[in-house]
Amino acid sequence: MVQEYVSPVRVHKYPFEMVMAAYERRFPNCPQIPVVLECVITDDSWTADDSQRHTTRRCQLNVEAPYLLKKMIGVDYVYFIQKNHLDLKSRVLEIEATNETFSSRVSVVEKCRYYVHPENSNWTCFEQSALLDVKNFFGLESTVEKIAMKQYAANIAKGKELIEVFMKEVHDDGVKDLRPWLASDPGHNRELRRVVSRGTEPLSPRPVAETKKHSLPEANFTDRICNIKKYCAQAAL
């Protein structure tokens, strides 16, 4: 069964460019969202006019699940692929995240969008939605759905608070105002690019780090579930 979550539109009373500078500070990890352990850039590029950035990150998340369930699936961490398209000319950031771990059994698609408030160009709107489809998880579908949606709801509740925290950091670094991208001012556009990307240069991403434990191969995972089910059946006799 497909579960859908759509959050109310949130409004940040800051210009789009300042929100982008604050948003970037949640990477590569964010102590305020401890479930996200690290996000590593795997692909990054800017257009020649510094107006658009395409970024792909591989994010490692801690599995916040009961101990027994973690033992059953044999995985401490899961991985998501996040693709961002920042358009400074149109003043829009579009984000799409999909799960890499257990993708054949569970499908998670999250879409987020930052854009200029239609009635106030100095404010920024944020909208977010997610689809969860647990296709086949060996009889644990309901449990997985409940855990996933509970965790998702808890994390998105922190979104607005995070922008305020990171906006203070941006201000503390001396950035009080950022003018929008302007075709006639390449020098300003280059500086805007530097600030909203925290100086990250494209085409030179860090290598994906080795992690403590990856997802188990499908065969091993299947065997583990079958063994546990046999054990539970025998214990019930």
pTM for the whole thing? 0.80
Between CA 70 and CA 81 the distance in angstroms is 21
2-236 topology per CATH: Alpha-D-Glucose-1,6-Bisphosphate; Chain A, domain 4 (3.30.530)
Alpha helices by DSSP H, listed for the chain, are 16-23, 67-73, 141-156, 159-172, 186-196, 218-236
Which pair of structure tokens corresponds to residue 104? 């054949």
pLDDT at 199: 82
Residue 221's φ and ψ, nearest 5 degrees, are -65, -45
Position 143 scores a pLDDT of: 62
223 Cβ neighbours under 8 A, 6+ residues apart: none
Residue that has been written with the tokens 């969008």 in this structure? 113
Whole-angstrom distance, CA of residue 136 vs CA of residue 98: 17
Q: Which ranges of the chain have pLDDT less than 70? A: 1, 63-75, 136-160, 202-237
pLDDT digits (tens, 9 = 90+) for 126-159: 999 988 887 766 566 666 666 666 666 666 666 6
Q: For position 105, what pLDDT does the model report?
A: 76
- The ranges assigned to domains in the chain are 2-236
Residues 21/195, Cβ–Cβ less than 8 Å: yes
DSSP3 helix / strand / coil % (the chain, rounded to 5): 35, 30, 35
